Amino acid sequence: MTTTNDIEQALRGVVDPELGGDVVELGMVKGIELADGIATIKVALTIAGCPMRTQIEGDVKRKVGALPDVDSVAVEMGEMTQEERSEVMSKARFKAREDAEPTMVDPVTRVVAVSSGKGGVGKSSVSVNLALALADQGFSVGLLDADIWGFSIPRMLGVGADRLEANEDGKIVPLEAQGLKLVSTGLLVDDEDKALMWRGLMLSKALEQFLKDVAWGQVDYLVVDMPPGTGDIQMALSRLLPQAEMVVVTTPQKAAQKVAARVADMARRSFMPVIGVIENMAGFTSPSGEHFKLFGEGGGRELANELGVPLIASIPLDPYMVEGGDDGAPVVRTHPTSPAAQAMTEAGKRIVELVPPAEDETCTARIDRLVEGLKAIG
């Protein structure tokens, strides 16, 4: 005799095509009744006008109607509350991350997504100098320019005229640029000034190709320069690289801080940890020693406190950083004693503390460090 448990099991075969999970695990089934051969199923959709409504209703009727003792199926379609909708979206995002297809990025590679809520806060400059600061500590570092249509990394590293090539296996080989393994759309297009008029799906596919079809090899850290905002690229990265962790870049300005909070919220809702905040353009000190707070003050610290994460660094305005970005001469390499370079170098060290390379977290590595410490004592 068919029971409501049997009906629930049958409903696990009804999959929401958009969310990628079955209606039971997603919490869309709100009630199951069976009386006199009539099965009544209550299903809550994310929105009343869900385009998958007809398909889901038809699948429910077919799956349940095929069970013994069920003569007819009545499906009552409703709409979720805001709280239920948030919960089901969280489940869907988590499932997408768990089911992520393998990429060419080693699972033990530390992935640092440098993000901002809006453009113009110097995120790409931070990405380049942070990657170099990590490399200068002896780590193997990859740099992925995921700002697909707003690429600027090749120019900042002085390789704008170079192009990516493929190896004998048909995989893209990252370009060696100042000790970094670099991949960027800017190394594929013919003209730096040509606009890429790509829509969301193409952007996501481009990122997917950069992760699945690039021979990254063994890298300790992969720094990803994200496009500003909370769009397709951000959601795709959280799905494709579950080990990714985010650093949020903001300026001291209140408006920038509030916008940056949104990208952090998106990360957490996509199960991507936020490890810290970098405040850029944090004042300017003239040669005479006079300090100017051109963009206000305190926004980075306030955002870090709001998110419950550390303020990794506060980067001052520095003419050398601006010039270096235009000339392909990053400040941490060309003017290592400048205020911005020193702040970026410290940011690199702080990243290693917050996200140590994978081998440093193994039991063997910890034992080795303990033994070395005992030797130093003895």
24 occurs within a structural domain: yes
Q: Is residue 371 part of a domain?
A: no
Place of tokens 């494709």: 240
Average the pLDDT over 223-237 and give the result: 83
In a domain, 376, yes or no: no
Looking at the fold, whether 170 and 222 belong to one and the same domain comes out as yes
Q: How confident is the model at residue 316, as a pLDDT?
A: 92
pLDDT at 197: 55
Question: What's the confidence (pLDDT) of residue 11?
Answer: 95
Strand order in the sheet with 29-35: 29-35, 38-45, 72-79
- Domain-embedded: residue 372: no
Helix axes 200-212, 232-240, angle to 10 degrees: 30
Of the residues 40, 67, 98, which one is the last residue of a structural domain? 98
* Nearest of 274, 271, 291, 273 to residue 282 by alpha carbon: 291
Does residue 229 sit in the same domain as residue 154? Answer: yes
151 and 263 belong to one structural domain? yes
One domain for residues 174 and 283: yes
Residue 169 has, within 13 A of its CA and on its CB side, a CA count of: 8
Residue ranges making up the domain that contains 64: 4-98
- Domain CATH code at residue 218: 3.40.50.300
- CA separation for the pair 375, 53 (Å, rounded): 68
Residues 57 and 27 in one domain: yes
Separation CA 72–CA 173 (nearest Å): 59
CA distance 124 to 225: 6
Residue 109 bridge partners (DSSP): none
181 with 293, same domain: the answer is yes
Q: Specify the higher pLDDT residue, 82 or 6.
A: 6
Determine contact, residues 225/214, Cβ cutoff 8 Å: no
Place of tokens 């049997």: 6
**Do 84 and 145 share a domain, yes or no?**
no
Q: What is the CATH number of the domain that holds 68?
A: 3.30.300.130
For the chain, the distance separating the N- and C-terminal CA atoms, rounded to the nearest angstrom, is: 75
In terms of Cα–Cα distance, which of 221, 234, 224 is closest to 270? 234
Q: Within this chain, do residues 132 and 222 fall inside the same structural domain, yes or no?
A: yes
Structure confidence at residue 130 (pLDDT): 98
Whether residue 127 contacts residue 157, with contact meaning beta carbons closer than 8 Å, is answered with no
CB atoms within 10 A of CB 169: 8
pLDDT at 365: 47
Domain assignment present for residue 374? The answer is: no
Q: Give yes or no for residue 74 having a pLDDT over 90.
A: yes
Please report the pLDDT score of residue 364 as a whole number: 44
- Residue 47: pLDDT band (50, 70, 90) is confident
- Is 373's pLDDT higher than 70? no
How high is the pLDDT of residue 319?
85
pTM, 2 dp: 0.71
34/161 same-domain check: no
> How many domains does the structure of the chain reveal?
2
The verdict on 175 and 82 lying in the same domain is no
User: Tell me: the pLDDT tens digits for 209-220?
Assistant: 899 999 999 999
pLDDT above 50 (res 334)? yes
pLDDT category of residue 120 using cuts at 50, 70 and 90: confident
User: In the structure, what pLDDT confidence band is assigned to residue 147 with cuts at 50, 70 and 90?
Assistant: confident
Query: What's the whole-number mean pLDDT along residues 199-205?
Result: 65
Residue 367 has pLDDT above 60, yes or no: no
Q: Residue 286: pLDDT above 90?
A: no
Residue 289 has pLDDT above 80, yes or no: no
| Predicted pLDDT at 213 | 93
Instruction: Read off the pLDDT of each residue in 44-50 and give the average, rounded to a whole number.
Output: 82
